[in-house]
Amino acid sequence: MRVSPEPAYADIEAAAKRLADEAVVTPLLRSRALDETLNARILIKPETLQRTGSFKFRGAFNKISRLAEATPRPRAIVAFSSGNHAQGVAAAAAALGFPATIVMPADAPPIKIANTRGYGAEVVFYDRYKEDREAVAGGIAAERGAALVRPYDDPDIIAGQGTVGREIAEQAKSRGLAPDIALVPCGGGGLVSGTALALTQHFPAIRIHACEPEGFDDTARSLARHQRIANEPGARSICDALLGASPGEITFPINDRLLAGGLVVSDREVAAAMAYGFRVLKLVVEPGGAVGLAALLARKIDVAGRTVVLVLSGGNIDAEGFAKIAASAR
């Protein structure tokens, strides 16, 4: 079992400095229509507009920057991902002068595979239902003298993702706002744990909820019992970015300490949220990135009269796939 220290808020500040000239400072948006629908003030953080189309670039660049400074410096980078971490690692590795190999499921969305290759990475496929992706990636890393960059269970990754929360805090304070609630998509828990570390630093009373698809609600169930619980094998969801097996060893203790709980949405509710995001917010959001919006629109939590942070974590989906999912919500 890997044992690594949790990141502190100072690590998020350090990550922000590394990312200053590399990551996009995504805006904090408002929608009058969404506010009126929910009778709340919704602060939308569209990481769909981030470099590589998701928040994942933040953690990947922070981690690989640290590796670039290490002695000895690794010869290459290896990662495993269904797509968003893959793209973030590929782009960050290229920017920092590392060759990268990404282990991806054979059924990953074609656009994510193409984009990963477009950033210069080699893609190696595996069967997500029969093979252990970490074992496949670990074998490649050992053969090539490469560093393995995990998608969420790493202090440097968590600190990089925490810059999302740091930006939200700065942007909200600049408007004189103190959020009451935050809804954050959750797979392995890197984004929500990092964001929670940052937001609770600035707003101690904020209630943060992990948002997950049905069948992959391991964090919600784990939070309810205060212990890590794995998902049942064989589950399916359109939220390809959130199909982890269980909460992370490092991320879960942070989330168990800082989160108010988890919210769970169906694929149909996600599809409706994607359609709403396109029609009303004028944003293209992939399924995994839309789970928080789905939770709001499906009234999974009462937000009336509250100030709510909503993180839209990614927008990597092709036009055909988006149209098919959005049409299914009618």
Q: Which amino acid is at 88?
A: G
- CA-to-CA distance for 288 and 242, rounded, in angstroms? 6
**Which of 125, 149, 173 lies at the terminal end of a domain, its last residue?**
149
Q: What is the domain-level CATH number for residue 118?
A: 3.40.50.1100
Do 253 and 315 belong to one domain?
Answer: yes
Asked if the model's pLDDT at residue 8 lies above 80, the reply is: yes
Over residues 298-322, the pLDDT tens digits come to 999 999 999 999 999 999 999 999 9
Do 44 and 68 belong to one domain?
Answer: no
- CA-to-CA distance for 97 and 45, rounded, in angstroms? 30
Number of domains in the chain: 2
Do 82 and 118 belong to one domain?
Answer: yes
- The pLDDT value recorded for residue 129 is 83
Over residues 91-103, the pLDDT tens digits come to 999 999 999 999 9
Q: Which amino acid is at 143?
A: E
**Which of 118, 149, 180 lies at the terminal end of a domain, its last residue?**
149
- Least confident window among 104-113, 180-189, 245-254, 258-267: 104-113
Torsion of CA 117, 133, 245, 105, to 10 degrees: 40
Over residues 229-268, the pLDDT tens digits come to 999 988 999 999 999 899 999 999 999 999 999 999 999 9
pTM listed for this prediction: 0.96
Asked if the model's pLDDT at residue 293 lies above 60, the reply is: yes
Question: How many CA atoms lie within 13 Å of 58's alpha carbon, on the beta-carbon side?
Answer: 35
Range of the domain at 101: 57-149
DSSP H helical segments within the chain, as ranges? 9-19, 32-38, 56-68, 84-95, 110-118, 133-144, 155-174, 190-202, 218-225, 251-258, 267-276, 291-297, 319-328
**Which of 149, 180, 204 lies at the terminal end of a domain, its last residue?**
149
The answer to whether residue 1 is domain-embedded is no
